[in-house]
Amino acid sequence: MVDNPFEPSIFNFMVEHHTSQLDTVFHALGDATRRKMLAQLASGERTVSQLAEPFDMSLAAASKHIKALEAAGLVKRDVRGRTHVCTLNPGPLANAHQWLAFYEIFWTSRLDALEALLKAEDAAKAKPHPKPNSGEKK
């Protein structure tokens, strides 16, 4: 029921869930190491050791980064015996891209309007101004 304050709204739950997921994705993408790990995974699966190697970090530190990526849904980890193999899950990136695309359209239109305004201003400054006749005899 909409009017019942004790009944949670399904719409609000969905919005909050979606926002929470985006927050987690952007948090994960906010770290350069994690972005580089995702770039590695874009070309295929990697073990935790392979992901840690370029950063000269411990496996425990790499695992913490991977856990942040897993929490965002960006990485799936498969345990094969003693080896942990990670793969990229690009789905959450599509959601983030969709969110950013909305603002790209917004800012593109604003920047286009600014560009037109500045060009009009430059054109107005470039027009020759008539000089007053100061030494004319009548």
Output the pLDDT for position 130: 67
**Angle, nearest 10°, between helix axes 91-126 and 10-29?**
80
Mean pLDDT (whole number) for 72-88: 96
Q: Is 1's pLDDT higher than 70? A: no
Euclidean distance between CA atoms 78 and 86, whole angstroms:
6
Most confident segment among 15-29, 59-73, 91-105: 59-73
- What is residue 47's three-state secondary structure? strand
Is the pLDDT at 28 greater than 90? The verdict is: yes
pLDDT classification of 19: cutoffs 50, 70, 90: low
> What's the rounded Cα separation, in Å, for the pair 20 and 26?
10
Q: Please report the DSSP string for 52-121 in residue order.
A: HGGGT--HHHHHHHHHHHHHTTSEEEEEETTEEEEEE--HHHHHHHHHHHHHHHHHHHHHHHHHHHHHHH
Confidence grade of residue 79 (pLDDT, cut at 50, 70, 90): very high
Average pLDDT score over residue span 100-115:
85
Q: Which domains does the chain have, with CATH numbers?
A: 10-89 (1.10.10.10)
